C-alpha cells in the first residue's frame, strides 16, 4: 500500500474537498438526474444519460479521494532531515547550462502546484532530486532529454 504524504494543510484541503463532493456535489447530481427524468422517455433522453454519467464520475472522484484520505500520512515538515532532499524539502537548484537558480518544494501529487513552486515527488524533477545532497548534480529526465541541475541548498519547508 502506497502512502500519500501530506502536510496538515494539504490533508485539511483534501478532507474539505471530499466533504464538499459528498454533500453539495451529490445533491447537485441528484437534482440534475431528477430534472432530466421529468423530461420524459428515459430511453431517448440524452440529458438523463449525461446526468447519470456525471454522477458516475462524481462517485469515482469521491472514491479516489477517500482512498487518498485513508492512505494519508500527515508529516510535520520541520521534523524532517534536511541533509538530503526528501518529501517537503525546499530545494534550490541551479541549471548546469544556463546557471539560473530556482527554488522548489517537493510535495505529494495532491499538493503539487507549479504556480506555488511546489512539485510532485513523483514528477521527473521530484524523482531526480530525491536523495540528493548539496553539491550533487541531478539528472532530470524530460521529453527534451536529460537536464542537469546542481543542488545548491536544502531547507525545511
Task: Measure the CA–CA gap between 153 and 156, rounded to whole angstroms.
Answer: 10
- Domain of residue 65: give its range: 4-74
Indicate which CATH number applies to the domain containing 92. Answer: 3.10.50.30
* Pair (89, 66) in one structural domain: no
Secondary structure of residue 144 in the 3-state scheme: coil
- Tens place of pLDDT for every residue, the chain, 157 residues? 567 788 888 899 999 999 999 999 999 999 988 888 887 766 677 888 888 899 999 999 999 999 989 988 888 877 777 889 998 899 999 999 999 999 999 998 888 898 999 999 989 989 999 999 999 999 998 888 899 999 999 987 7
Total domain count, the chain: 2
Of 57, 74, 91, the last residue of a domain is 74
Phi-psi region of 89 (alpha: psi -120 to 50; beta: other; left: phi over 0): beta
Amino acid at each position: 500500500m502506497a502512502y500519500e504524504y501530506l502536510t496538515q494543510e494539504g490533508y485539511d484541503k483534501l478532507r474539505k474537498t471530499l466533504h464538499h463532493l459528498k454533500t453539495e456535489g451529490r445533491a447537485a447530481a441528484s437534482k440534475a438526474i431528477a430534472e432530466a427524468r421529468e423530461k420524459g422517455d428515459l430511453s431517448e433522453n440524452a440529458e438523463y444519460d449525461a446526468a447519470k454519467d456525471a454522477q458516475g464520475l462524481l462517485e469515482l472522484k469521491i472514491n479516489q479521494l477517500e482512498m487518498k484520505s485513508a492512505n494519508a500520512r500527515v508529516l510535520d515538515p520541520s521534523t524532517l532531515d534536511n541533509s538530503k532532499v526528501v518529501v517537503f524539502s525546499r530545494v534550490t537548484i541551479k541549471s548546469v547550462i544556463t546557471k539560473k537558480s530556482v527554488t522548489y518544494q517537493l510535495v505529494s501529487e495532491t499538493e503539487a502546484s507549479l504556480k506555488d513552486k511546489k512539485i510532485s515527488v513523483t514528477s521527473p524533477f521530484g524523482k531526480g532530486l530525491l536523495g540528493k545532497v548539496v553539491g550533487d548534480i541531478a539528472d532530470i529526465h524530460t521529453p527534451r532529454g536529460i537536464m542537469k541541475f546542481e543542488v545548491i541548498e536544502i531547507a525545511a519547508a
